[in-house]
Structure 1
Amino acid sequence: MNLTKQSLAKMIDQTLLKPFASEQDFKTLCETSKQYGFKMVAINPAVVKTCLKYLEGSDVLAGAAIGFPLGQNTIETKVFETEDAIANGSGEIDYVINIGELKNKNYAYIKQEMETIVGICKKHQVTSKVIFENCYLTDEEKVKLCEIALEVRPDFIKTSTGFGTGGATLADVKLMKSIVKDQIKVKASGGIRDLKFAQELIDAGVERIGTSCGVEIVDALAG
C-alpha cells in the first residue's frame, strides 16, 4: 500500500487513556491531532466534551473507550456508557468484550452484548469497534469472536486495549483477517510505536491503528 503522510494520519487513532492525564495534556493531544489530521482521539468517556472543545474546527473525531480496560461491566452499564458518550458528542465507540463470559463459552451473552452496543452505534450513525483483548485469548476464542462479529457486523474488530499483557501482533491480525476477510475492518492497537510495525500491520490488512506514537509514526514516513 502506497502511503502518504496524510493517508497514514487518517488511519491513526491518537490515544491518551492514562488516568492521570490533565486538561493541558488533552489540549495538546487535540491540537496535535488537528495539526496532523488524525482520524480520532481515543479517550476515556469523561473527557469527550473537553476534547471536542479543543477539536472544534477540525474533522478529527472524539472516540470513547467503553467498559475500559477490563470489559467486566454489565451490558446495561456498557449501554449507559455508550449512550452517554454519544450524547456528549463521541463519534466512535471502542468497547471491550466481557472476556470472562467468552472464557465461560457463553457465546449468547457475547453476541447479545455486541448486538446491543453495535445497535446503539448504528442508530446514531457512530462507528463501532469491538475490542477482543487477544493477549488473554486462545486462537479458538479469537476465531469464535470473529464468527460472532460476522453475524452482528460492527464496523471494526480490534486486537487490544493496550492495557493488557500484550498488544497487537501480526499473527493475530492475519488470523482475524482470515475469518472476516473484507466484511469487517480490523483495528490494531497496543505496542505500535514505529512506522515499520505500523506498515507491516497495514500490509496485513489493518485499516486503523491505535497508538500514542502517531506523531513519530507519521514523521518517519518519507515525503
Structure 2
Amino acid sequence: MTSPVKVHELAKMIDHSLLHPTMTDSDMVQGCKIALEYDVASVCIKPYAVPLAVDILKHSNVLVGTVIGFPHGNSTLEIKVAETIQACKDGAVEIDMVVNIGKVLQEDWDYVEREIAAVCRATHENGGILKVIFENDHLPEAKYKIRLCEICSKLGVDFVKTSTGYGFVKGADGSYNYKGATPDDLELMRSHSDSEIQVKAAGGVRTLDDLLKVKALGVSRIGATATVAIIHEAKERFGDGADKNVVMEDSPSGY
C-alpha cells in the first residue's frame, strides 16, 4: 500500500542506542549530541550515564531511557525494581527491562508475571513507560513469546520488545549467531499483544528499508546504532521534512 512518510516521523521511531560495553563517557556524550541533532525519540543509555544524558537533552524533546537487568535478565526481582526506581530518580522516563529468560524457558509464569508486574508498577509510579525485552533469540518456540505477550497485555506494559542486541546464541560448531528482530517475531508480537501495547524492534534494523519494513508490520519504535545513516538515507529519498508517498510492503520476507 502507499502512505505518506515524513522524515521527522521516522526519526521519532528511533531509540538511539548507547549501550555497547566499550562506550566511554565521551562516546555517550557524542551519541546524545547525535540524538539531539536528529531529534530522535530517545536515547537508550547505560544506567550510570542517565544523569549525563538528562543534562545534555534537558532542553529538547528527546527522551532519556535506560536498561534494567541488562543484557541477560538474571538480576533478582528486588534488584530490577531498585534499578528502575534509581533510573527514574536520575531522570529516565523510558525503562527497557529484560525478562528472566531461564524462568520463561522453564515456564515459571507466576515468577515471570510477578517480576514484570513489580517493574511495571515501579516504572509507572515514577512517571515512566516500560518496554519488556523478550530476547527472542533465546526462545526457540512461539509459545514462549505468545505467553509473554499475554502477560504484558494483562499487566498493561507500554511496549513489548524483541531483543537486547546482545543475545548471541552459541551454535553446535561453537560459533555465535544473532537474528534480532525477525519479521515472524514482529508479526507474532503485534498479533498477540493488546492494541494499546506498542512493539519495539531491536537488532538487525540497520537501514532505511529495514525501518520501513518493520513499520509496515506495526512496529512503532526501533533500537538503532545506525541512526545517522538511516536518517541521511531518508532525507535523500524523501526530502528533508517533506511528505512523500512510499510503498510499504505488506509481508516483507526479511531485512
Same fold (TM over 0.5): yes
Task: Give 1:1-223 correspondences, 5 Å limit.
Answer: 1-137=3-139, 138-165=141-168, 166-221=179-234, 222-223=238-239
TM-score of the superposed pair, with normalisation by structure 2: 0.85
Gaps of 5+ in 2: 169-178, 240-255
Whether contact under 8 Å (2:85, 2:126) holds in the other structure is no
Q: Separation in 2 of the partners of 1:83 and 1:100?
A: 24
How many residues get paired? Answer: 223
Query: What is the CA–CA distance in structure 2 between the aligned matches of 1:51 and 1:65, rounded to whole Å?
Result: 14
Between the aligned partners of 1:214 and 1:5, the Cα distance in structure 2 is 12
The one-letter code matched in structure 1 to 2:160 is I
Identity %: 39
Deviation at 1:62, TM superposition (A): 1.3
In structure 2, distance between residues paired with 1:51 and 1:77: 23
Q: AA paired with 2:146?
A: V
Cα deviation digits, residues 140-198 of structure 1 (max 9, x gap): 10001011111101000000000012311111000111111523110000121101111
Structure 2 residue matching 1:161: 3-state secondary structure:
coil
Distance 1:85 1:150 in 2: 24
CA-based RMSD of the aligned residues comes to 1.0
Residue identity opposite 1:63 in structure 2: G
Question: Displacement of 1:70 after TM fit?
Answer: 0.2
TM-score (norm 1): 0.97
Inter-partner Cα distance in structure 1 for 2:4 and 2:123:
31
Choose between structure 1 and 2 for higher RCO, CA contacts under 8 A separated by at least 6 residues. 2
> SS of the counterpart of 1:160?
coil
Q: In structure 2, what is the Cα distance between the partners aligned to 1:35 and 1:56?
A: 14
Structure 2 letter corresponding to 1:218: I
Contact map agreement 2:153 2:194 (CA 8 A) in 1: no
Query: How far apart are the structure 2 equivalents of 1:35 and 1:181?
Result: 34
Structure 1 SS opposite 2:84: helix
- Structure 1 segments, 4+ long, off by >2 Å, are none
Code of the aligned partner of 2:106: N
Larger Rg: 2
**CA distance in 2 between partners of 1:202 and 1:113 (Å):** 29
